[in-house]
Chain A
Amino acid sequence: MSMTSFSDWLYATQFSTALRETTWVIPNLQTIHIIAIAVVIGSAIATELRMAGIFATDRPLPDVLHRYLPWMKWALVVLLLTGALLVIAEPGRTLNNTLFWIKMALVAGASLVTLRARRSLVLATAGGSSAITVPEASRGLSWLMLLVWCAIIFCGRFIAYA
């Protein structure tokens, strides 16, 4: 089944129709989506800039990561759920949209780095090595991560116009 016929089928389902035709559903889902984006961005600023060596450098890295990574994880879950409902409501404008798939690829990449690589830094210190330092070379990755999160926001907004 092609993506177009899949999205046509999804569009015709009762659930999709109900979401789309209940006027308050989409704006409110988007509101929750944006609030969760803010949680991710706030947490990303704190953790990535800590690793870039310009924020809260007097605090141990694991403490900073430990404070924000769970919030990031749950915000990403909320984003996934509200995002899935938005796709179900309007499959045509998302699934057949290249920008949407670029966004998904970026989200997958950024989430993976955050929830695996960043988390491993917390776990590493839980094992005993207390003084963990971030290598100079990985600072570029922190800036790249912040850039990717911003790019994701741009993709998200431009999906509506493509």
Chain B
Amino acid sequence: MSIDTTLQQIYDLPLSASIRESVNAFPLLESLHVVGLAVVFGTILIVDLRLVGVASHRREASRLIRELLPYTWIAFVLAVLTGIGMFMSNALSYAANTYFLLKMVALMVAGLNMAWFHSTAYRRISEWDETLPPPRAARFAGFTSLLTWMVVIFLGRWIGFTLEMVW
């Protein structure tokens, strides 16, 4: 199988081996991953709550989104990089783990939801920028985002309890 060959090649990379064999690398990656995801979910939560209709520290939704998004993206990059590091160390195990695969699906759902929001309600944000509660489409996107990211965290935590190591 070509996928298994690729996964084996990732597993065999010197970087993967050093993460696997180091005592501190994995917990370090995990800690940075938690810092990253906490900033991602923490800042998204502020935006999502505003979209759902909870008043925030400013009234204009567009400005709230713009001032928080840079933090979300930087932290997301950190979470992805550390996530890749953990994946590399045991690529075959992760690829065979149901929770990991479901987590990737959940991340895609979160991305699609964001894309959908940006191509619909966000385009007309000037019409509802200071309106509380926001229109139904924005509330729906906010609620879906909240739920999806919590599912991502749930699935992520379960990976650690179900991963079967391939040595």
Q: Which residues of A contact B (CB under 8 A)?
A: 26-28, 30-31, 34-35, 37-43, 45-46, 55-56, 58-59, 63-64, 67-68, 150, 153-154, 156-158, 160-161
At the interface, yes or no: B158 with Cβ under 8 Å from chain A? yes
Which of A34, A43, A150, A158 has the most chain B CB atoms closer than 10 A to its own CB?
A34
Q: Which residue of B lies closest to A33 (CB)?
A: B157
A-B contact count (CB 8 A): 81
B158 pairs with A63, CB closer than 8 A: no
**Interface positions of B (Cβ within 8 A of A):** 23, 27, 30-31, 34-35, 37-43, 45-46, 55-58, 67, 71, 150, 153-154, 157-158, 160-161
B38 touches A34 (CB 8 A): yes
Beta-carbon contact of B57 and A150 below 8 Å: no
A45 contacts which of B71, B154, B160 (Cβ < 8 Å)? Answer: B71
**A37 & B27 in contact (Cβ 8 Å cutoff):** no
Give the contacting residue for A34; candidates B37, B55, B161; CB below 8 A: B37
Q: Which residues on B sit within 8 Å (CB–CB) of A27?
A: 157-158, 160-161
Tell me, rounded to whole Å, the shortest Cβ–Cβ distance linking A83 to chain B: 14
Partner of B38, one of A41, A46, A59, A68: A41
* Contact, CB under 8 Å: A34 / B34: yes
24 A–B contacts from the bound complex (CB under 8 Å):
A31-B157, A38-B38, A39-B45, A40-B38, A40-B42, A41-B35, A41-B38, A42-B41, A45-B39, A45-B42, A46-B57, A56-B58, A68-B57, A150-B35, A153-B31, A153-B34, A153-B35, A153-B38, A154-B35, A156-B34, A157-B30, A157-B31, A160-B27, A161-B23
Q: Which of A35, A55, A161 has the most CB of B within 10 A?
A: A35
By a CB distance below 8 angstroms, the chain A residues around B30 are 157
B35 touches A38 (CB 8 A): no
State the CA gap A27–B35 with chains docked (Å).
18
Decide: B27 and A43 in contact? CB cutoff 8 A. no
B27 to chain A, nearest CB (A): 5
Q: Once the chains bind, are B43 and A42 in contact (CB under 8 Å)?
A: yes
